Chains A and B, each alone.
Chain A
Amino acid sequence: DAGITQSPRHKVTETGTPVTLRCHQTENHRYMYWYRQDPGHGLRLIHYSYGVKDTDKGEVSDGYSVSRSKTEDFLLTLESATSSQTSVYFCAISESSPSLSPLHFGNGTRLTVT
C-alpha cells in the first residue's frame, strides 16, 4: 500500500484524553494528509503538510493539531478527545500537488471515543 503505515490501527479512548495517531511513509513524498471518514460525509480533510514543518488546515481542523518534524512522519493529535471525533482516520501521501499526482492512502485507524 504505497509504503504507508498508520498506527495504531484501532484505538478506544475516553472523552477528554489526548490521542496521537501516527502516519509513517517510506516513499519520500512531499505531501501528507490526514482525512477522516464518516458515513454520509465522505472523506474530509483535517490537516495537510506540503513539507517538513509546513502544515495547513483543512475543512475540519477544529480540535486537531499536527506535526511533521521529518519527511516520513506526520502526527495527528486530538488534544482532548470528544465523542464527535469517533471516526476512521486516513493518512495519505502524494508526490506533488493532487492535481498532478494521485493520493495514496494508508489502511486507516479506527478511533472510538467513549
Chain B
Amino acid sequence: QQQVKQSPQSLIVQKGGISIINCAYENTAFDYFPWYQQFPGKGPALLIAIRPDVSEKKEGRFTISFNKSAKQFSLHIMDSQPGDSATYFCAAVAGGTSYGKLTFGQGTILTVHP
C-alpha cells in the first residue's frame, strides 16, 4: 500500500535546465509535505517542505507547488546544477494523533549533466 506515489523514477537534465518531480497522495489527512534530498552514502536530509494552506513555496532554486484538490505536489529545481545530482524523496504526514508516521514516495534519481 503506497500512500504516496512519486514519478519519475529517474530523471536526466542538462545543466541549467528545470528538474520536475511529481508526487500524488491518497490520504486527505496528510497536512505536511516535506521533500528530502539524499546523496550517495548518506542519509536523506530535509530540503524544503509545505503545508496545504499555501499553493507554492520557494527557497532559492527549489520550489514546491501544491494542488490540494488534485492531491498532488511537485518539486521544481530551477537552473539545475551537477551538484543537485541526488535522490529526491517526497513525503507526507498527518498531524494530530498519528504520532509521526512519515510516509515516503519511491524516490527519484536525478542526474544533472554538465
Q: Give me the interface of A with B, judged by CB distance under 8 Å.
A: 1, 4, 31, 33, 35, 40-45, 48, 50, 56, 58-59, 90, 92, 94, 97-100, 102-108
Contact = CB atoms under 8 A, between A and B. Distances in A.
Contacts, number: 76
Interface size class of B (residues with CB under 8 A): 20 to 34
Interface of B: 1, 6, 9, 31-32, 34, 36, 41-46, 49, 89, 93-95, 98-107
Most buried by B among A4, A98, A104: A98
A92 B43 contact: yes
B99 A103 contact: no
A1 B45 CA distance: 9
Contacts of B102: 33, 45, 98, 103
Nearest to A97: B100
Contacts of B46: 102-103
B43 A106 contact: yes
B20 to A, nearest CB: 18
Q: Which 6 A-B pairs have the closest CB atoms?
A: A105-B43, A99-B95, A102-B46, A43-B104, A99-B32, A42-B106
B34 A102 contact: yes
13 contacts: A1-B42, A41-B106, A42-B89, A42-B104, A45-B102, A45-B103, A56-B99, A97-B98, A97-B100, A99-B31, A102-B46, A105-B42, A105-B45
